[in-house]
Amino acid sequence: MPKNILFMKKIIPYLGFLLLFVTSVTMAIAGSTPKKGGTFPIIRLPAPNTLEERNYLGISGEGPFKISRIKASLLIIEIFSLYCPLCQASAPEVNTLYYMIQELPDLKEKIKIIGIGAGNNMLEVNTFKKNYQVPFPLFPDEDFKIHKDLGEVRTPYFFVARIKKDMKVEVIYSEEGTFGLSENFLQRILKTSGLK
């Protein structure tokens, strides 16, 4: 038997094992949902269309930005879809949370809320915003790229992330479904984050 064929017979099982290992690690990293204590993936969002929303987030300029640039200590991120009945039903409670935070002078600059429409284009995001009178910025994720980076979570899904001074974004809350009463949820994340 030629040496090349003998060598290939010996190495093929190892190559197969290596390929399987690399694939499983890559899938685990790419498809895992950020959990409490973990790091939120680096995602880029388009600059909001309105000056009011850019001011709310503390974003200057017109191009895409990383969420770590948002001027806040805590960022509440809702993953929603225009076509999700639970997202539609919970929209008034999420709006209540926004207004509750805005009425607290010591918190309104520290906590911000955004929504990301999984599989939704700008028209769909704007339709959701208009239909449910959403007061905070919503962003499209038409190609599901962000959704995939977040482990293809079901909607609605809520993350609360701490934006650190070194621009790292740490997850302090990660849960599928609605969060219940806005007042209870706010108290829960304040306690978890130590932010008062």
Write the pLDDT tens digit of every residue in 157-183: 999 999 998 889 999 999 999 999 999
Model confidence pLDDT, tens digit, residues 48-68: 989 999 999 999 888 899 999
Contact 91, 134 (CB under 8 A): yes
Name the pLDDT band for 93 (thresholds 50, 70, 90): very high
Question: For 130-151, what is each residue's pLDDT tens digit?
Answer: 999 999 999 999 999 999 999 9
Which percentage of the chain shows pLDDT scores above 90?
Answer: 78
List the one residue out of 40, 35, 29 whose CA is nearest residue 162.
40
Alpha carbons within 13 angstroms on the beta-carbon side of residue 87 total 22
Given this model, what pLDDT does residue 60 score? 86
- Other C-beta atoms closer than 10 Å to the C-beta of 122 total 14
Of these ranges, 62-71, 124-133, 187-196, the one predicted with the greatest mean pLDDT is 124-133
Instruction: Using the predicted structure, report yes or no on whether residue 33 has a pLDDT greater than 70.
Output: yes
Report CA-CA distances (Å) from 135 to 35, 72, 100, 192, 196.
27, 17, 12, 25, 23
